[in-house]
RNA sequence: UGGGGUGUGGCCAAGCGGUAAGGCAUCGGCCUUUGGAGCCGAGAUUCGUAGGUUCGAAUCCUACCGCCCCAGCCA
């Protein structure tokens, strides 16, 4: 089955939603949200969540909100909110007028806290952070009640209001929910609701010195927005009882259902914000959009299309078991998309000069070349051909192995769209390095075929030397040299697995002249090599291309299996 | 040895009591003016393990095993 024919299967979330709709829950409404914390750049794992949330909303004629979970000012920044919005839009999703910030609810969150205090379900605690931890107990032992647990509502109200008013130093008091210090679920052992922190917030500035915790903020934000299905990752499963506790004990408009799914892991890369941040901070990569990273910004710069990423998100499915998806699937999605739409061009990465000895000196002729065999509507272009050309170094071998269809002494190959050429002589320098090939062409083979039906197996790409453009090409490869560092030696830091060959810069590559007008972001297939896009560092005088993904290379496989024999 | 999850081919993933979808990867073959693309075909007697229920179990029951998450005033 071709991927474009793929119809979304039922995953467990769709199953839940359809059951809810059938049961008439929420009046049949589906309303989701994507709630990033603006403390880093979005990555492909977030893309899975974005596609899920926005996709489900679209599928069931509902809505999906974009909401920034910005309750921890110390880590958050507008740089991140801007990048997140740009990335979600680029992926092709639209939150219309439903852009929210948890910080917009600070006043309501505060009122709800007052409500909990009045109903005796929250109290101000003056234990130190260290004491709170000690009182919490352990995984196997119950916690101990805080001595502040039985403070009167009046006193709690007074203290909490004074917390807000800034009368107490940072960390001196917290507001806690009064639930059960003996609960086997640590999240229910009187979790902290508010902490005092004199930090400037990227939106509310210095208006507040107390900030609500995620666990308290999230369910209320969902309810205030009328969210029906609050989809999050597995590690929040343990938090669900508290999510429900908050909503059950507060006069909120509705009670959304929290549903947890497994986050995406991808082989040969890292996905945690901490690790990504570390790579960027330590300059192990060149910024958040370094094309080796799995961030959305990096994938965009690398040449990925939103379509490829969305298709990928659909293909990987949604489930609750933790898994590591093969990077090959992501690459497959890009190839599949670009195969249909990328213009084919010729580029020689490592040039080997070829002189066509029987071609008239000074003559230049123009050949027709199709732009995309998958899409006749893409039209054709003209290609200059002349006496001096470049072909790829690896397309010539002095000692051709078995099944090597390319050029070697005395052998004939086809130059794509041009002529058959035969290699007559190999020219070397004093060190024995091949510097030039002297070949002859068959004038009868113009266009790449002859009437005699002669079989020519090999077809190489080439460029005409005089008209070629000199460009820089950046060859990207896997970030890590192992598929799953977590499955390796646990003592080792992930940085020890960084692939030293993840970036190879190749200068003085030769590309056909039609590329002169290429603009940053333009995508092409370099014939027989891969898909490339013009990098943001590129300029008309100094073109720079990124390799997005290679083409499948069956010769490489054959050669590899020959060598292993 | 507390609680919450989860185990289906190399990697994902359907399946929800009636006799193992699909995708990626792999391996054959065809085709080819990209060794690209495309096309055709192959692969789990078996669903973590062991018992049990049933005419019939990946699906139900029991026990065991493995892996993940939780002791932030992070999200």
**Percentage of residues in chain A having pLDDT higher than 90:** 95
pLDDT band at residue A4 using 50, 70 and 90 as cut-offs: very low
Question: What structural domains and CATH numbers belong to chain A?
Answer: 12-261 (3.40.50.620), 342-346+469-565 (2.40.240.10), 349-461 (2.40.240.10)
Q: What is the ipTM of this complex?
A: 0.97
pLDDT in tens, A47-68: 999 999 999 999 999 999 999 9
Instruction: Point out the nucleotide closest to A456 (alpha carbon to C1′).
Output: B33
Q: How far is the CA of A236 from the C1' of B35 (A)?
A: 49
Residue A565 in this model has a pLDDT that exceeds 70? no
Extract the tokens encoding A189: 């052992």
- Positions of A annotated as catalytic residues are 37, 263, 273
Residue A493 in this model has a pLDDT that exceeds 80? yes
Q: Which nucleotides of B are covered by protein (CB under 7 A)?
A: 1-8, 10-16, 21-28, 33-39, 67-75
pLDDT in tens, A223-269: 999 999 999 999 999 999 999 999 999 999 999 999 999 999 999 99
Instruction: Point out the nucleotide closest to A71 (alpha carbon to C1′).
Output: B75
**DSSP bridge partners of A460:** A415
Q: How far is the CA of A60 from the C1' of B42 (A)?
A: 40
**DSSP bridge partners of A441:** A421
For A170-238, the three-class secondary structure string (H helix, E strand, C coil) is CCCCEEEECCCCCCCCHHHCCCEEEEECCCCECCCECCCCEEECHHHHHHHHHHHCCCCEEEEEHHHHH
- What mean pLDDT is predicted for residues A452-463? 94
> Measured between alpha carbons, how far is A204 from A220 in angstroms, rounded to an integer?
19
CB neighbours of A125 closer than 8 A, spacing ≥ 6?
A132, A146, A148, A149, A173, A174, A175, A176, A190
Q: What pLDDT, on the 0 to 100 scale, is given for residue A385?
A: 98
Record the pTM: 0.96
Instruction: Point out the nucleotide closest to A558 (alpha carbon to C1′).
Output: B35
- What mean pLDDT is predicted for residues A15-34? 96
Q: How far is the CA of A17 from the C1' of B3 (A)?
A: 27
Query: Nearest protein residue to B68's C1' (by CA)?
Result: A322
Considering chain A, what is the average pLDDT of its residues? 96
Instruction: Point out the nucleotide closest to A15 (alpha carbon to C1′).
Output: B16
Residue A6 in this model has a pLDDT that exceeds 80? no
CB neighbours of A95 closer than 8 A, spacing ≥ 6?
A64, A65, A66, A88
Distances (CA, A) of A366 to A346, A347, A383: 15, 17, 5
In a 13 Å sphere around the CA of A472, the CA atoms on its Cβ side amount to 15
> Measured between alpha carbons, how far is A246 from A116 in angstroms, rounded to an integer?
9
Q: How far is the CA of A235 from the C1' of B8 (A)?
A: 24
Q: What pLDDT, on the 0 to 100 scale, is given for residue A1?
A: 27
Q: What pLDDT, on the 0 to 100 scale, is given for residue A488?
A: 75
Q: What pLDDT, on the 0 to 100 scale, is given for residue A5?
A: 34
- What mean pLDDT is predicted for residues A527-555? 97
- What mean pLDDT is predicted for residues A178-190? 98
Extract the tokens encoding A256: 């959304």
Residue A3 in this model has a pLDDT that exceeds 50? no
């Amino acid at each position: 089955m071709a991927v474009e024919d793929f119809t979304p299967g039922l995953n467990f979330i769709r199953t839940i939603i359809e059951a809810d709709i059938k049961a008439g829950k929420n009046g049949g409404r589906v309303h989701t949200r994507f709630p990033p914390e603006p403390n880093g750049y979005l990555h492909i794992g977030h893309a899975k969540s974005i596609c899920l949330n926005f996709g489900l909303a679209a599928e069931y004629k509902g809505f999906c909100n974009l909401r920034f979970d910005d309750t921890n000012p110390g880590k958050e920044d507008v740089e991140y909110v801007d990048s997140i919005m740009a990335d979600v839009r680029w992926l092709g999703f639209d939150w219309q007028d439903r852009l929210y910030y948890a910080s917009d609810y600070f006043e309501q969150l505060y009122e709800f806290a007052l409500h909990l205090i009045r109903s005796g379900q929250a109290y101000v605690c003056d234990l130190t952070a260290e004491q709170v931890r000690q009182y919490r107990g352990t995984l196997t032992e119950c916690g101990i009640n805080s001595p502040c647990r039985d403070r009167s509502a009046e006193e709690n109200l007074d203290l909490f209001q004074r917390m807000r008013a800034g009368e107490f130093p940072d960390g001196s008091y917290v507001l806690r929910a009064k639930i059960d210090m003996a609960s086997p679920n640590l999240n229910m052992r009187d979790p902290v609701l508010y902490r005092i922190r004199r930090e400037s917030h990227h939106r509310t500035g210095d208006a507040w010195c107390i900030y609500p915790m995620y666990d308290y903020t999230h369910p209320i934000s969902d309810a205030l927005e009328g969210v029906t299905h609050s989809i999050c990752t597995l590690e929040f499963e343990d938090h669900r009882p508290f999510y429900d506790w908050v909503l059950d004990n507060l006069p909120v408009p509705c009670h959304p259902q929290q549903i947890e799914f497994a986050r995406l892991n991808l082989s040969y890369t890292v996905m945690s914000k901490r690790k990504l941040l570390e790579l960027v901070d330590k300059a192990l990569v060149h910024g958040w959009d370094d094309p080796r990273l799995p961030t959305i910004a990096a994938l965009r710069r690398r040449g990925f299309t939103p379509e490829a990423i969305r298709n990928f998100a659909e293909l990987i499915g949604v489930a609750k078991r933790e898994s590591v998806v093969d990077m090959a699937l992501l690459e497959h999605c890009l190839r599949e998309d670009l195969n249909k739409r990328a213009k084919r061009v010729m580029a020689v990465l490592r040039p080997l000069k070829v002189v066509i000895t029987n071609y008239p000196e000074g003559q230049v002729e123009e050949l027709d070349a199709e732009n995309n065999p998958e899409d006749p509507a893409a039209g054709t272009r003209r290609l200059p051909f002349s006496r001096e050309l470049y072909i790829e170094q690896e397309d010539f071998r002095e000692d051709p192995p078995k099944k090597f269809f390319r050029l070697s002494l005395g052998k004939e190959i086809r130059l794509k769209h041009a002529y058959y050429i035969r290699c007559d002589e190999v020219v070397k320098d004093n060190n024995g390095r091949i510097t030039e090939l002297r070949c002859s062409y068959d004038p009868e083979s113009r266009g790449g075929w002859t009437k005699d039906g002669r079989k020519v197996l090999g077809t190489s790409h080439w460029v005409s030397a005089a008209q070629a453009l000199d460009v820089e090409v950046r060859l990207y490869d896997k970030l890590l040299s192992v598929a799953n560092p977590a499955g390796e030696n646990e003592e080792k830091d992930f940085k020890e697995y960084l692939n030293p060959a993840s970036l190879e810069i190749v200068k003085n590559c030769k590309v056909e002249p039609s590329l002169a007008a290429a603009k940053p972001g333009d995508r092409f297939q370099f014939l027989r090599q891969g898909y490339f896009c013009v990098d943001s560092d590129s300029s008309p005088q100094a073109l720079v291309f990124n390799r997005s993904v290679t083409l499948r290379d069956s010769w490489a496989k054959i050669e590899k299996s020959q060598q292993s024999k």
